[in-house]
């Protein structure tokens, strides 16, 4: 618009910011985006993409071991951490180049500087200032570290992806997505992993059967998983580090990885000065259309702490662009969003947990199946897959699907479409399964699990 340098200025070139800027430009807006690091954000540069590549690498240990049951003899296998990290870095550099080309092809100007708000329409970029009619904040989140003695000895997921060498003994503190995924990665690559979580069970917020199944399977694989374990401090020792536990005792490690959550990346952005409201956790407060308390400023992605998943940030960015520049007011849809944990074995889920369904609906029907994957009838591996459906008996709608096992994310993605369409248990039952697959179990479960007994 007249009087401003840009129609839209985006702070942060992660998944949400890039999608919003490209779509706004496609709607005819003059757009610029700033980024002080590489383009691509947490997911592409230091999150789900490089982590998934490391998950693939770590799974070869199982494949080599399991192959013996199928007649293979594999001798002389060796693993090189530096070669893996170099290959991972090359792929991240390629993806960074892809994002740069996407912005250029869309006509979005990229400013390689940190952006700081000075007022509702002005962003400071190093020594210069630019103005925009609309500003979008898409700065994501950052690892959160507790204030305990010796915390400076710990690394976060950022540094774990860039280690110079594979640690022989690794202590991981945390029990969520990141902690369980890195436990599987380093355990599979040969490290002795101790996972410490202060709660009663890992993966807080997931279905209880999912949590219990994954914990059992991780322990079978050799991860020393300890719950109700609180770290009081970290000391440097001659051989590495010692984690002092409040419950007594210590854990010795060569490396300490903290994965105790992430916080919205809002510090030092000038948000308060620009009149943008933050909540107690430092997240940007937005309405249903991602607009902040300042009418000219919007925010999407993890910085709003709504549903912190990359595809959700992309959806929010697209909805913002359609709302502000496309003439189509669009609310991002946060219902029935599937998610996965690339632990080993993997977890995937969509819809309500059993507990949440009972709280919302009252009585529910639950169908659960645990079985040994067909592959392991010959490999001999002691591993169980768990699948679960939660059904609203009043409507017969399936309101939750949960799985722990190989290819869980690939299977649940398809079921997410079914739940989004309002599929019923009767329709699941009427669907012919593909045999022999694990996925067919979701359409052959007929026996309801007994409801838990009421407590006083």
Using CA atoms, how far apart are residues 315 and 19, in angstroms rounded to an integer?
8
Token pair listed for 150: 């010796």
- Cα three-residue angle 411-418-385, rounded to 5 degrees: 30
Active-site residue set: 435
Strand (E) or helix (H) holding 251: strand 250-253
- Looking at beta carbons, which pairs linking 149-152 to residues 24 or more positions away fall under 8 Å? 149/232, 149/233, 149/234, 150/233, 150/234, 150/235, 150/236, 150/241, 151/234, 151/258
Going from the C-alpha of 13 to that of each of 85, 109, 289, 310, 358, the distances in angstroms are 24, 11, 20, 13, 40
- Cα three-residue angle 324-15-320, rounded to 5 degrees: 10
Nearest CA-CA partner of 91 in 138, 51, 33, 140? 51
- Cα three-residue angle 382-388-394, rounded to 5 degrees: 165
Going from the C-alpha of 130 to that of each of 117, 121, 133, 156, 400, the distances in angstroms are 10, 8, 11, 34, 47
Q: What is the largest CA-CA distance in the chain?
A: 73
Whether residue 22 contacts residue 314, with contact meaning beta carbons closer than 8 Å, is answered with no
Handedness of CA 79, 82, 88, 90 (dihedral sign): negative
Using CA atoms, how far apart are residues 66 and 43, in angstroms rounded to an integer?
31
Using CA atoms, how far apart are residues 181 and 350, in angstroms rounded to an integer?
19
Using CA atoms, how far apart are residues 339 and 409, in angstroms rounded to an integer?
8
CB count within 10 Å of CB 64 equals 12
């Amino acid at each position: 618009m007249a009087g401003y340098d840009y129609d839209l200025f985006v702070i942060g070139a992660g998944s949400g910011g890039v999608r919003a800027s490209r779509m706004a430009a496609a709607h005819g807006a003059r757009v610029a985006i700033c980024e002080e690091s590489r383009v691509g954000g947490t997911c592409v540069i230091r999150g789900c993409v490089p982590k998934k590549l490391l998950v693939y690498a770590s799974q070869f240990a199982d494949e080599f071991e399991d192959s013996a049951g199928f007649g293979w003899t594999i001798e002389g296998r060796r693993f090189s951490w530096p070669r893996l990290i170099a290959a991972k870095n090359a792929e991240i550099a390629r993806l960074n180049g892809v994002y740069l080309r996407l912005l250029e092809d869309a006509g979005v100007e990229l400013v390689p500087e940190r952006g700081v708000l000075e007022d509702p329409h002005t962003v400071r970029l190093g020594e210069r200032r630019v103005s925009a009619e609309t500003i979008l904040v898409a700065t994501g989140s950052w690892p959160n570290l507790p204030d305990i003695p010796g915390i400076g000895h710990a690394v976060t997921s950022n540094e774990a992806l860039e280690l110079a060498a594979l640690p022989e003994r690794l202590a991981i503190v945390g029990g969520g997505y990141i902690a369980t995924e890195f436990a599987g990665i380093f355990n599979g690559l040969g490290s002795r992993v101790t996972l410490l979580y202060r709660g009663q069970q890992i993966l807080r917020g997931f279905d209880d059967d999912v949590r219990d199944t994954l914990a059992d399977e991780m322990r079978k694989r050799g991860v020393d998983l300890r719950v109700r374990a609180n770290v009081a401090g970290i000391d440097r020792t001659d051989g590495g580090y010692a984690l002092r536990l409040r419950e007594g005792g210590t854990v010795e490690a060569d490396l300490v990885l903290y994965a105790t959550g992430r916080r919205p990346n809002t510090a030092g952005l000038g948000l308060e000065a620009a009149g943008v409201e933050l909540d107690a956790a430092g997240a940007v407060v937005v309405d249903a259309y991602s607009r902040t308390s300042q009418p000219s400023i919007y925010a999407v992605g993890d910085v709003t702490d709504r549903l912190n998943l990359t595809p959700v940030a992309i959806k929010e960015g697209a909805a913002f662009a359609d709302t502000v520049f496309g003439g189509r007011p669009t609310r991002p849809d946060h219902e029935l969003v599937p998610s996965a944990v690339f632990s080993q074995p993997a977890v995937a889920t969509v819809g309500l947990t059993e507990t949440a369904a009972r709280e919302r609906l009252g009585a529910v029907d639950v169908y659960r199946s645990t079985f040994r994957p067909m592959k392991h009838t010959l490999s001999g591996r002691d591993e169980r897959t768990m699948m679960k459906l939660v059904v609203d008996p009043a409507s017969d709608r399936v309101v939750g699907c949960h799985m722990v096992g190989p290819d869980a994310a690939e299977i649940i993605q398809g079921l997410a479409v079914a739940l989004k369409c309002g599929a019923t248990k009767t329709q699941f039952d009427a669907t012919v399964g593909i045999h022999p697959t694990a996925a067919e179990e979701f359409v052959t479960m007929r026996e309801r699990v007994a409801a838990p007994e009421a407590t006083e």
